[in-house]
Structure 1
Amino acid sequence: MTGALLSPVPLWARCALLVAACWSLFLLGQLHGERKAGEAHIAYIGQQAAQVVKVAKAQVQVLVRTETKYRDRIEKIYVKGDEIEKQVPVYVSAADSRAYGVNAGFVRSYNAAWTNELAGPAANADREPAAVPLTEIAEADAHNARSCFAWREQALGLRETYVNLQAVTNGAPVKDAAQ
């Protein structure tokens, strides 16, 4: 009975039907392979996203820990500096300022150092009193020292933050700088 059904169909049509069936199976296999490759790519992207989130969380922890550590240090520097500046009159009195005057040459030299410009050639006027009390000089020096200590701590904090952010990004353990 099957022979009777197939006999009216020409041979070329049967071959074409067989080729079409094989081609359909091939395409279904290709789709299945592409689906598998797509799933692998999606899994890879998911792993990368998870890694980025992990690194970002670690970086935030580094920033918070370092900022807290150095903010407290800088705050203590300013508090101590204010105390030192307030105690200047105890150590340098008005009588000391009158007895030990500062000459104009000292003031020119001091100002040159803080402006990073040459003071110029010395003159006879440099030997004259500058009318600047020693207490003002001591207060200015205490203020400048406090600022320098604060800047130092800020620089150390930035360096520690940079090193730790690099470590976290590269997957290395975070280093804690010596106190």
Structure 2
Amino acid sequence: MARWKPHAPERLLVAALELFEERGYEHTTVIEITERAGLTKSTFFRHFPDKREVLFGGGTMAGLLVDGIDTAPAGASPLEAVAHALDAIGRAAFTSDRREFSARRSAVVAANPELREREALKELGLIASMIDALKRRGVPDLTARVAAELGALAWKIAYERWQDTTNRDDFAELARRTLTEVQAASTAC
């Protein structure tokens, strides 16, 4: 039987989440995560720089956002380009089979200040990625910043709604509706 098993990052993520739920983030070590996943410490560090990062997926989301904005139709407005990116994220990352797992992940993050801080930093990085992608499309700086911020707010609200396990809406649909709501609310201010 081969020693190598596929999907190491996913296995590490699942093991980490289970242990963080059982023992708490602070009381879980990288060694315990790797043992639960049936992997080695060196495998862990090949995929993640530290135990905090196991819950944050590296640059996957930023890449999806940028690709979504880059592939939006040429005549798309800045918010339409952001909506296109949210569609891409919904198709790739927020599928219905990930809903419960995402809710569990959010609960672990919410319970730990260090993870909440990392989540906030990740959000800032995603906004910066969207701004850069929009500016490459020729969108003026201020407009790119506003569109990216509105997109990030819509994403955050849609993600909270989508994680509700009684909700059966597709993430992309939720994100587009929420983006419309956020845009309407911004004009009402």
Q: What TM-score, normalized to structure 2?
A: 0.22
Structure whose residues are more often helix by fraction: 1
Higher RCO (Cα < 8 Å, 6 or more apart): 1
Q: What TM-score, normalized to structure 1?
A: 0.23
Larger radius of gyration: 1
